[in-house]
Amino acid sequence: MEWAGAFGDLGTLIPFVAAYIGVLGMDPLGVLFAFGVAMLVCGLVYRTPIPVQPMKAIGAVASIQAVQTAVVTPGAVHVAALATGLTWLVLGASGAMRHVARWVPPSVVAAIMLGLGVGFMLQGIKMMQGDLVLAVLAGVLTLSLIGNRRMPAMFAVLVFGAAVGAWRQPELLSRLAAMPIAFRLPTVELSGLSWNEVFVGVVLLALPQIPLTLGNAILAITQENNRLFPARPVSAGRMSVSTGLMNLFSGVAGGVPMCHGAGGMAGHVAFGARTGGSVVILGTILLALALFFSGAVTTLFALFPPAVLGVLLFVTGLQLAVGTGPLPGERAERVVVLACAAVCIWNVAAGFLVGLALHHAARRGWLRL
């Protein structure tokens, strides 16, 4: 089950990593190497399925070049990783994160988790729409095997998806078989960065990510871990330091900005993970791919049809949304949770700010709905 749970977050990991590599032209070696090392360390240190995911806002902006007239380069992505790493390391190590965490009410954290869960489900549905028959087959297979310890659902779905991909595109298997095994280590030359790359990385990529990371990758993951694994609690400060360290490492190693998303833990747990061993397993596989098979990564990812990944993302979102628990008893607080969650489906950072504003308005009696 730990092996099955290890692959529970692929619905988020593969699309973003594929975009960084295929669209932005980043070296698969550095990207996967950074993820692999971060997952190994987190699994061994926390001993719960604490996930390591791409930062979604930065990944989306970088992959579609959504920064007006500026151009996002691999160097700018490395700068964004270093900038976010330094920010969260300082907040966590200084103790400031404890005060920030107390400032954010539980209803807003629950709303973020609910909004993310529904957002994942909607994104999963979009990915399924292009191939409904395949999505239905993968969905039935997933639901029929969830919780089955003899045949874990994730294994069955991945094998099914890879088989369909190979059947539809047999040339992919030929390309994979023809690619040689070659050992390489990541190399990054940060001294060649331009001031334009520094500006794009810090101002246009890193800064807009901060509210999203605070809500999803610091506060929500802390609550989710402590709810699911009360015997192995973590703190927001510890999550902040962890986020800072792994991003500083990623920026130097040629990787991308990473975080501990609550949706990632939901995905791991939904498919069987109960310890940090699942994260160690996935990290080891990514390290092996990075060091010996980095030239085959893009072809390997292409084996998994988007509809199958959409099913995994839908199940992950469902697990995360259900985990938020019942709505608050007070009407005003229910308004806060539902409104904040609705905005989070569109933009987590905006939802976070809306939730804070509505919470304080409710406390002052200004909400009359």
Q: Is 140 exposed, middle or buried (0-12, 13-18, 19+ CB in 10 A)?
A: exposed
- Mean pLDDT, the chain, as a whole number? 84
Which runs of consecutive H residues, i.e. helices, occur in 104-205? Answer: 106-129, 132-145, 153-168, 170-178, 195-199
Whole-number pLDDT of residue 66:
45
Whole-number pLDDT of residue 69:
56
pLDDT band at 87 (very low <50, low <70, confident <90, very high): very high
279-291 mean pLDDT:
93
Please enumerate in sequence order all residues whose Cβ is within 8 A of that of 103, keeping only pairs 6 or more positions apart, or say none: none
pLDDT tens, position by position, 106-115: 788 788 778 8
pLDDT band at 282 (very low <50, low <70, confident <90, very high): very high
DSSP string, 160-185: HHHHHHHHH-HHHHHHHHHSPP----
Go through the chain and tell me how many residues it has: 369
Whole-number pLDDT of residue 214:
85
pTM of the predicted model, to two decimals? 0.74
Beta bridge partners, 54, equal 258
Whole-number pLDDT of residue 61:
61
* pLDDT at residue 272 is higher than 80: yes
pLDDT tens, position by position, 300-316: 877 888 898 888 778 87
pLDDT tens, position by position, 176-222: 877 778 788 887 767 678 888 888 888 778 876 787 788 778 988 99
pLDDT tens, position by position, 119-164: 878 888 988 998 999 999 999 998 888 766 667 777 788 889 889 9
Whole-number pLDDT of residue 64:
53
Q: In a 3-state reduction of DSSP, which class is residue 156? A: helix
* pLDDT at residue 347 is higher than 80: no
Q: What CA–CA distances, in Å, run from 334 to 6, 326, 344, 350?
A: 35, 10, 15, 18
* pLDDT at residue 40 is higher than 90: yes
Nearest to 360 by CA among 99, 98, 96, 107: 107
